[in-house]
Amino acid sequence: VAAPPPAALPLGFAPPRAPEAAPSAEPGDWPLGRPLAQLLDTYILAEAPDGALILVDQHAAHERLTHEALRAQLVEGGVRAQPLLLPAVVELPQADCARLLGFAEALARLGLELEGFGPGAVLVRALPALLGPADPAPLLRDLAEELAESDEALALERRLDAAVARLACHGSVRAGRRLNGAEMAALLRQMEATPRAATCSHGRPTFLRLGVAELEKLFGRR
Amino acid sequence: VAAPPPAALPLGFAPPRAPEAAPSAEPGDWPLGRPLAQLLDTYILAEAPDGALILVDQHAAHERLTHEALRAQLVEGGVRAQPLLLPAVVELPQADCARLLGFAEALARLGLELEGFGPGAVLVRALPALLGPADPAPLLRDLAEELAESDEALALERRLDAAVARLACHGSVRAGRRLNGAEMAALLRQMEATPRAATCSHGRPTFLRLGVAELEKLFGRR
């Protein structure tokens, strides 16, 4: 029982949030530069306009893009949901089912529509459209864990934000996926148009810069 | 008055010194890996079999290859010379002319055939074949400088080795030259088959390795 694939941008990359944040058409203005190659199907190597070598962690970067796009939709009134053609049944420990259903209304604002399905299962009617054709089972397990971990006293807003970070992780291109030149360029341009794109949802860097002077120093050229 | 181009390997790369030093045919055995891209027309980026990112300074690396090939020919009885179709006249300060001509016999063993041409010029009849169609003027100026700098008491052998290092620098692919994939691969394979290839003639590193664990640490993945 799979969701129909939504109309997809390359890899399901989120579009830039707002027209005014659209990337410049001039390559010379692209701080993250032009893609050169992919390393280990995990890192993108790019050459910045000033000659610096840029290394991008593709999963961390895409996680941040998905996170910001989900957050923007949430702020604008709710994450767009993609109804499943056939609802999916996900079996879970009884406590997790109860916990998820207790948050059903909040989760619906995240584009995740759930119903009870007996004591040890949940029926999934819709998933956040941004995630593309995601597998609902690991996603629900992860969300149940997140909601269990959250301090009971934590405001719903904070819990939702933590849940958004978990969703973003599921909706992001994995390390180990081969990208072509256009996909790499799309990721770089969207990073430039996205706030907080220098770190992933967990606070790790999404890209590193090795400047020309630094390179020359490493090679003893100066 | 230019020398005819010698039958050239890509970029005039020196062939491996001996058959037993030929690079392995198995990509898995290539420590410097497969070329990914060129940065700034100056550095080669490659992916090692263990996933490390390899950065090669193309000029430094090629300088070492040329240096070792010239040294091998010198040890075997003399550097192969490429006669110029038309001898070249190079004007130099009188002291430099005298110094170069004083070493004419030794320079001939380096593939450089010179004759006097009045007080302020030298006639070049042949250049080291390995250097390809090099411009003789900057090469002679550089050699005159090297011979002037050398301690007078220094043995001829040591002076020749210093001169070989200068020649190698002239015969090497420059930073700022675009290389295609085959040229990059040829350089990497020849580095693997050449002694002392990890440093250039001036003792600077020719390549750097950024290992998988190091990359993961930089990105906070471990």
Q: For residue B125, what pLDDT is reported?
A: 97
Please tell me whether residues B60 and B42 are part of one structural domain.
Answer: yes
| pLDDT tens digits for range A33-85 | 999 999 999 999 999 999 999 999 999 999 999 999 999 999 999 999 999 99
Name which of B34, B36, B38, B39 to mutate to probe chain A: the one with the most chain A Cβ atoms within 10 A of its Cβ.
B39
Please tell me whether residues A112 and A154 are part of one structural domain.
Answer: yes
Name which of B36, B202, B216, B219 to mutate to probe chain A: the one with the most chain A Cβ atoms within 10 A of its Cβ.
B219
| Domain that includes residue A27, residue range | 19-70+174-218
Q: Is A181 helix (H, G, I), strand (E, B) or coil?
A: helix
Average pLDDT, chain A: 86
Please tell me whether residues A26 and A63 are part of one structural domain.
Answer: yes
Q: For residue B25, what pLDDT is reported?
A: 61
Residues in A closer than 8 angstroms to B208, CB to CB, are 218-219
In a domain, A7, yes or no: no
Please tell me whether residues B89 and B118 are part of one structural domain.
Answer: yes
Strand partners, B47: B34, B53
Nearest of B19, B5, B134, B130 to residue B69 by alpha carbon = B130
Q: Is A217 helix (H, G, I), strand (E, B) or coil?
A: helix
CB-CB under 8 Å, B60 with A47: no
CB-CB under 8 Å, A60 with B53: no
CB-CB under 8 Å, A40 with B37: no
> Which residue carries 């819990």 as its tokens?
A159
Residues in B closer than 8 angstroms to A220, CB to CB, are 203-205
Please tell me whether residues B99 and B164 are part of one structural domain.
Answer: yes
Using H for helix, E for strand and C for coil, what is the string for chain B?
CCCCCCCCCHHHCCCCCCHHHCCCCCHHHCCCCEEEEEECCCEEEEECCCCCEEEEEHHHHHHHHHHHHHHHHHHCCCCCEEEEEEEEEEECCHHHHHHHHHCHHHHHHCCCEEEECCCCEEEEEEEEHHHCCCCHHHHHHHHHHHHHHCCCCCCHHHHHHHHHHHHHHHCCCCCCCCCCHHHHHHHHHHHHCCCCCCECCCCCECEEEECHHHHHHHCCCC
Q: For residue A204, what pLDDT is reported?
A: 94
Encoded tokens for B130: 């390995």
CATH of the domain at B102: 3.30.1370.100
Are A175 and A38 contacting, i.e. CB atoms less than 8 angstroms apart?
no
Longest dimension (CA), chain B: 70
In a domain, A46, yes or no: yes
Helix (H) / strand (E) containing A182: helix A181-192
CB-CB under 8 Å, B45 with A36: yes
CA pair distance B135, B89, nearest whole angstrom: 11
Angstroms from B12 CA to nearest CA on chain A: 23
Please tell me whether residues B99 and B43 are part of one structural domain.
Answer: no
Please tell me whether residues B151 and B184 are part of one structural domain.
Answer: no
B43 to B11, B22, B175, B191, B193: CA distances (angstroms): 15, 24, 8, 14, 20
Encoded tokens for B96: 């430099």
Please tell me whether residues A187 and A209 are part of one structural domain.
Answer: yes
Please tell me whether residues B109 and B121 are part of one structural domain.
Answer: yes
In a domain, A23, yes or no: yes
Encoded tokens for B127: 């250049």
Position A172 pLDDT exceeds 90: no
Please tell me whether residues B90 and B161 are part of one structural domain.
Answer: yes
Are B47 and B31 contacting, i.e. CB atoms less than 8 angstroms apart?
no
Name the DSSP letter for residue A154: S
In a domain, A98, yes or no: yes
Query: Chunked in runs of 10, what are the mean pLDDT values of chain B (222 residues)?
Result: 33 37 65 96 96 96 94 93 95 95 93 95 95 90 88 77 88 90 96 93 92 94 81
Q: Is B90 exposed, middle or buried (0-12, 13-18, 19+ CB in 10 A)?
A: buried
Report CA torsion sign: A167, A169, A174, A180: positive
Q: Is A197 helix (H, G, I), strand (E, B) or coil?
A: coil
Please tell me whether residues B149 and B179 are part of one structural domain.
Answer: no
Chain A residue closest in CA terms to B61: A219
- Higher pLDDT pick, B50 / A14: B50
A93 to A111, B135, B136: CA distances (angstroms): 22, 79, 81
In a domain, A13, yes or no: no
Mean pLDDT computed over A179-195: 95
In a domain, A184, yes or no: yes
Please tell me whether residues B119 and B65 are part of one structural domain.
Answer: no
Q: Please tell me the number of Cα atoms within 13 Å of B58 on its side-chain side.
A: 26
Chain A residue closest in CA terms to B39: A47
CATH of the domain at B199: 3.30.1540.20
Q: So what's the ipTM on this one? A: 0.77
| pLDDT tens digits for range B126-165 | 999 998 888 999 999 999 998 888 766 677 878 888 889 8
In a domain, B10, yes or no: no
Q: For residue A154, what pLDDT is reported?
A: 75
CA pair distance B44, A52, nearest whole angstrom: 14
Which phi and psi (to 5°) does residue A6 adopt?
-70, 160
Number of domains in chain A: 2
Q: Cα-atom radius of gyration of chain B, to the nearest Å?
A: 19
Position A7 pLDDT exceeds 80: no
Q: Is A19 helix (H, G, I), strand (E, B) or coil?
A: helix
Task: Point out the residue among B37, B205, B215 whose CB comes nearest to the CB of A220.
Answer: B205
Using H for helix, E for strand and C for coil, what is the string for A133-148?
CCCHHHHHHHHHHHHH
In a domain, B7, yes or no: no
Residues in A closer than 8 angstroms to B220, CB to CB, are 203-205
